[in-house]
Every structure is written in C-alpha cells, then in structure tokens.
Amino acid sequence: MIVKALKFGGTSMANAQSIAQVRDVVLSDETARYVVVSAPGKRQPSDTKVTDLLIQLHGEQTEKGKREVMDVIEARFDDIVKGLDLDLDLSYDFKEIYSKVIGGASYDYVVSRGEYLSAKVLAKLIGYEFVDASEIIRFKGGVLDSEGTQQLAFSVLAKAKKAVVPGFYGLDEKGEIKAFSRGGSDVSGAIVARAVHASVYENWTDVDGFMVCDPRIVKSPEVIEMVTYRELRELSYMGASVLHPEAVFPVNVAGIPINIRNTFRPEAKGTMIVKYEDILRGKFARKSNVITGIAGKKNFVGIFLEKQMMNNEIGICKSLLDVLYENNISLEHMPTGIDTVTLVVDPTDDKVLAEAIAGIKERCKPTTLEVHKGLALIAVVGHGMNKMKGTAYRVCKALTDADINIRMIDQGSSEMNIIVAVEDEDYEKAISALYHEFVK
C-alpha cells in the first residue's frame, strides 16, 4: 500500500485561503494519510509570524502586555476558523495557553502552541485524527531520542489511519514540552514519514522546488529536478535553506525520498531528494549534469599562516585546532601547503579573535600570520563533477572572466564539491558567473 507523509510550512498555513489550498492538496490524494503542519506564517511581507508573536508573548513582563499579544494571536486563529467556516471552538485552548503563560510556562511550551493550534484547525477541516506531537516525539539530554521516538511514533500512528500532527516539538525526559530549532517542523515531518513507512515524504512550501542557486541573486534560476541527500547536505550547509538540514536523517536512514512541492502550484513536480545509491541502481533516473547546485555564505574570516619546514613539525595542526576549540571558534575549512596553513573560520567577536591569534602566535610561532575579514565561501556541488574533466578549470575561468579574484580553492575528498573563497563584495557576481557557466 502506498502511504504518503506530507508537511506544510508556515506560508501554506498562513490564512484561511492558503489552508483551503492545503485541504485541496491533501484530499485530492487518497495516499496522503499523515500530515504535519507548521504554525501560521506571514500573510504579507509586513505581517508577523504566529511563532514570533508567541516569542513576544513569552517575553512580555506585564500582564497587560501579555493579554494584548494573546488577543492578537486569538484573533489570528479566529479569522482562520471563520474564513474556513469551521465548527471549531478554540476558546478552551486559548484559556489554557494564557493561564500557563501567566503561570510562568517555559519558552518551549509557549512557542510550540502555534503548531498545536494549526494542527487542530487542519484536522477538523479535513476530518483527520489529531495526534499531538507530545505523544510521539521524545528528547533526551536536550537532543532528539531518534530510536525511542521512532518506536513510539510507529506504535501510536499505527492506530491512526489518517492523522494531522503538529510539527516543531515533543517531550523531554521530564515530560515537559521541548521544541526543535526554528524550521524543526521539517524534522517532525521526516520522523512521521519514517514511522509510517511512507513511500515518499512530501514537503510543501511556497516555491516550486530547490533552486540551482539563490533566486535573490539570479533571477528565476532553474529548479533542481533531483538532488541526492549528500548533495543536499553540502548545499544546505553552505546556506541553501529550503529544508531544515536535520530533516534528511530520519528519511535517509529509511531510504524514503523527499519531494519538495509548492502548495500554490501543485501541478509543479518540484524537487526529488533521493539516495545516490538508488540512482546508481536505476531506481531513479536524472539528467546527467556536471553540477547540481551552487550555494554560499558571506562574512568568514581567513587566518593565513606561513612557517618554514612546517611539514616536518609534528602536531602543528593539532595546536591550531586546540586554540580554536579553546576560544569556541568554529572551523569551516583548513587547506594546507608544505609551509602554509589557511584557517577559514566563522565570524567572531574581535576580542575573541585577537585572543585566538595571540594563542596561535605563542604556540605555533609562524613566520608570517595574516588575518583577512570579509571572505565569502561558495560551493559548487554535484556528483557529476568527479566524472567530468575540467570542472575546476571552468570554475576558475568563470570567475576570472568576471574579474573576480579567488582567495582560496578547495576540493572535498569526495570530489563532489569545489569550494572557492572570494571577497564579500564579489559574492553575488561570483554566484551569477558560476550559474551562467554551468547552467545557462
């Protein structure tokens, strides 16, 4: 039997009109049996997401301030219920939430109520059973208890033929609400998909799929028809943000493909996210492309070291990493030469960076040390790169032709990505140049 798990994001759940579209998507597909939802997002650019209202509610110090924010949240859901012409009374839920807020409810409890109410609305609208995420998702030691969650979710959802589940939260070992990081409803959807042995996990959002590059830089870039989990991890890590990066793990383990879809253009096929091994075995077929996607981030710091006979000095790289660890600085890349090492690190406080530099000078005694702020890292990603001669040449040529200086170039051991560092001010121009070199 084919079973689908679907997750709808905040834009899809923003108002009565968009939720009616969600209803049509679900009810038009008899295999769509399990649905996970986010809290209502923005109705227009100037609007406020319900989760942000709940964060504000938790932070309000006065009872008057709390009541005013709660009134806004209640009005938002009342408008949705009225717009859908639903016979649903949420007044008890509102009273319970407000009472707990006044009583000092935890941050995680308060911010999770948007998903809770959103799921109640959709369950009533489409006639599915409401299953609270607190019944199926468990955290231990502050992190997801993956196996415990899967066993519990399978047991509970096996009893529900069709269900709507709120995303974003579960329970910790103390029985208290624990929330994922923002965007965590994607993870909830993946958990449900794995628990019900779904044939596909459809993640419905407001775009046609995963773009080859950032549409804010290149106008109307092509949609990636198929991307592997490994490619997605590389692209997500470098800033591509259609899907929460942790959402791939539950379904990847189970070999369940993800399909990114557009709630407002359901006719679009979207992007399929699959195992590379399944492509090799012929389970899925995709066009033979040199690259799959391009992504990047700005504002990195480069620390360039040179020391004669560095290659003979045992432990120097360990010393460098020890300094970064002691100063809580995240390392992004570490290309090396015979007498040189480059540390590309996340931006950090100037004082912390200065202490790290002093530590490096003291322990490693480099001949020269330079610090360069304002570096952008760009990843060109694709399984096809390791089979195609001249890919690195094309990357370099595209940037050279665009009059962009390459500060660093690094190819991963998997030969699935090439990472270049350029100046922040050249970032957008570099993305555009690479897109037009490899795509059009």
The fold of 4-207+242-256 is Carbamate kinase (3.40.1160)
**CATH tag for 293-438 (out of 3.90.220.20, 3.40.50.2300, 3.30.2130.10, 3.40.140.10):** 3.30.2130.10
Q: Mean pLDDT in the chain?
A: 93
Statement: residue 5 has pLDDT above 70: yes
Statement: residue 242 has pLDDT above 70: no
Rounded Cα gap, residues 418 and 248, in angstroms: 22
Q: Where are the strands (E) in 189-292, listed by range?
A: 200-205, 226-228, 258-262, 271-274
Q: How far is CA 34 from CA 86, 188, 218, 341, in A?
A: 21, 11, 36, 51
The mean per-residue pLDDT over the stretch 87-95 comes to 97
The rounded percent of the chain whose pLDDT value lies above 90 is 79
Encode pLDDT of 385-435 as tens digits. Answer: 877 888 999 999 999 999 999 998 888 666 788 999 999 999 999 999 999
The mean per-residue pLDDT over the stretch 162-188 comes to 93
Helices (H), 130-247: 146-157, 185-195, 229-237
- For the entire predicted model, the pTM comes to 0.85
The mean per-residue pLDDT over the stretch 286-312 comes to 90
* Backbone torsions φ then ψ of 22, nearest 5 degrees: -60, -45
Q: Where are the domains of the chain?
A: 4-207+242-256, 293-438
Encode pLDDT of 14-30 as tens digits. Answer: 999 999 999 999 999 99
Encode pLDDT of 334-389 as tens digits. Answer: 988 899 999 999 988 899 999 999 999 999 999 999 999 999 999 999 987 877 88
Encode pLDDT of 191-236 as tens digits. Answer: 999 999 999 999 999 999 999 999 999 999 999 999 998 888 888 7
Rounded Cα gap, residues 138 and 148, in angstroms: 7
pLDDT band with cut points at 50, 70 and 90 for residue 255: confident
Provide the 8-state DSSP code for 198. -
pLDDT the model gives residue 183: 80
* Backbone torsions φ then ψ of 213, nearest 5 degrees: -150, 180
Provide the 8-state DSSP code for 390. T
84-93, 246-255, 425-434 — which is least confidently predicted?
246-255
